[in-house]
Structure 1
């Protein structure tokens, strides 16, 4: 078992974010978090990435409890961020360097890797995400699809075992959506665990192997395999209307 969540609750100042969420995720899964806007998908990703801590309940990664106290330790926090990489819905908040190559090199540089090791990671991640021709471009001048791929390349440069993606297909052309989904499938085939939030079932129905569905009360409504979902046309129809 890779991730275990037990009775997780999270509150915002004026509303609940998650209400007693319990689930487990195994290594190598491709999980789609589904549900209406505001149902808890992004909140869960923030907790998994260590950017937020639950009000109550337990989050374990590889059997290690990830608590607010655990995250106050800089070394432990860095270890978590090496294991779990997140691509934000608004990639502008995570792209801040003067060139794409510098963006991808930033994480490995913080790890203290050698110049040759950093260059190797930059080259590998640019190639993997089809960003080689963007190497010298300024990140904020890129298209939406290009920014998503660069953000993913910068996360992959730390070689995390888990990839969290918050609405990675939003605002992309159909071609860019297909390119992103194909890339995520290749990463899963290479051993990565993919956890992706989406409210568009039509985009992800063929790639997701497991669908964790939230309701408007910020609770777990259903946890289904792709095969289970295919046998329930009424559930598919419900997801189409999110």
Structure 2
């Protein structure tokens, strides 16, 4: 069974379309890159997958469970969804609000009611996994862009989600910081995580993506290709380079 299954998904903003009859299936363990120009629907899809928005129409199933507005209205169900799907937002400043990096990572596990020992273990593990040990007592808002991304990712990983959603995680980062994030994501995928990453920069993600879902300006999917498919289509690669 597919991990994520979307059928005829539609979403409207007050003055424009967000998604237009989107059909998409994602299997567990895939590394999927959502590609397309700004405003084509990538971030809208991320919102719906994470439960931050509900579609106007269509079906969203996660691991066989229908995710509806009624489902999300229940606080316990919503919490289960947020444990299963972790989100790193494009602007990490909106999700970093604690007084230290360690407190940032501890926040999620603390909401789950874990013991102090279990919380401390998760903080230590996630600091190590994201190469943030040296940042433990730093104030998050004083960090560099790349450091903030790693801390945001560490705070999400502290809940041990099955699926990671990352909205333009490489924007504004140095080449070295980009590579650090991509290497970490590959390690997480190797450990069994499903990675769904939105990007409009093909050069940044072409080496890591296994599957490329390409959106067009009509808020629809214009192509769904494996990395091998793309290798055989240089014209398509050139097109993606110019997004």
Q: Report TM bin, short chain.
A: over 0.9
User: C-alpha separation between the residues in 1 aligned to 2:133 and 2:22?
Assistant: 41
Distance in 2, Cα, partners of 1:147 & 1:179 = 13
Q: Which residue of the partner structure matches residue 52 of structure 2?
A: 51
Deviation at 1:64, TM superposition (A): 0.4
Alignment of 1:147-186 (within 5 A): 147-186=148-187
Could you give the per-residue CA deviations for residues 123-174 of structure 1, whole angstroms, max 9, x where no partner exists? Answer: 0000000000000000000000000000000000000000000000000000
TM superposition shift of 1:186: 0.1
Give runs of aligned pairs for residues 90-239 of structure 1, distance below 5 A.
Answer: 90-239=91-240
For residue 106 of structure 1, report the CA deviation from its aligned partner: 0.1
Distance in 1 (alpha carbons) for counterparts of 2:230 and 2:20: 24
Residue 86 of structure 1 is matched in structure 2 by 87
Structure 2 distance, partners of 1:206, 1:146, is 22
* Structure 2 residue aligned with 1:75: 76
CA–CA distance in structure 2, aligned partners of residues 11 and 145 of structure 1: 33
CA distance, structure 2, for counterparts of residue 32 and residue 85 of structure 1: 16
Partners of 1:127 and 1:12 lie apart in 2 by 40
Partner of 2:10: 9
Q: What per-residue deviation string (whole Å, max 9, x for no partner) do you get for residues 155-212 of structure 1?
A: 0000000000000000000000000000000000000000000000000001000000
TM-score (norm 2): 0.99
Q: Per the alignment, in what secondary structure is the counterpart of residue 46 of structure 1?
A: helix
The whole-number CA distance in structure 2 between the counterparts of 1:198 and 1:241 is: 12
Cα displacement (A) at 1:27: 0.2
- Unaligned runs of at least 5 residues, structure 1: none
RMSD: 0.3
Measured after TM superposition, the shift of residue 16 of structure 1 is 0.2
Give the Cα–Cα distance (whole angstroms) in 2 for the partners of residues 143 and 13 of structure 1.
35
Q: Structure 2 CA distance, aligned partners of 1:56 and 1:229?
A: 32
Residues of 1 paired with 2:63 and 2:196: CA distance? 16
The number of residue pairs the alignment matches comes to: 242
Unaligned runs of 5+ in 2: none
The residue number in structure 2 matching 1:65 is: 66
Aligned mates of 1:229, 1:5 — CA distance in 2: 24
- The aligned residue for residue 33 of structure 2 is 32
